[in-house]
Amino acid sequence: MADSDPITKQDLQDVVREIKVLVREVQDVLLTHFRAQMKAHDLRLDGCESSDAALLQRLHILEDRVLNLEVRPRTRPS
């Protein structure tokens, strides 16, 4: 095809098909990288959640100890 030849419908369809293939390839690469990034993010969040759970348990223990101090009968030393 010479530079002066008009573009045909088939030529346009070929270009559209190639563009679709390239877009799918780019989408696959992006999704793969996003998935890897999300795995790392999920691991970091899991670590934070377990740390938060341990902290909440420790806080609960402290609250129980304070409550026990507040409600126990007060006795004067003899």
pLDDT of residue 1: 54
pLDDT of residue 2: 62
pLDDT of residue 70: 81
| pTM of the model as a whole | 0.48
pLDDT of residue 36: 86
Whole-angstrom distance, CA of residue 21 vs CA of residue 65: 65
Kindly give the parts of the chain with pLDDT less than 70.
1-2, 78
Residue 46, H or E segment: helix 9-71
Q: Is 74 helix (H, G, I), strand (E, B) or coil?
A: coil
pLDDT of residue 74: 76
Whole-angstrom distance, CA of residue 55 vs CA of residue 63: 12
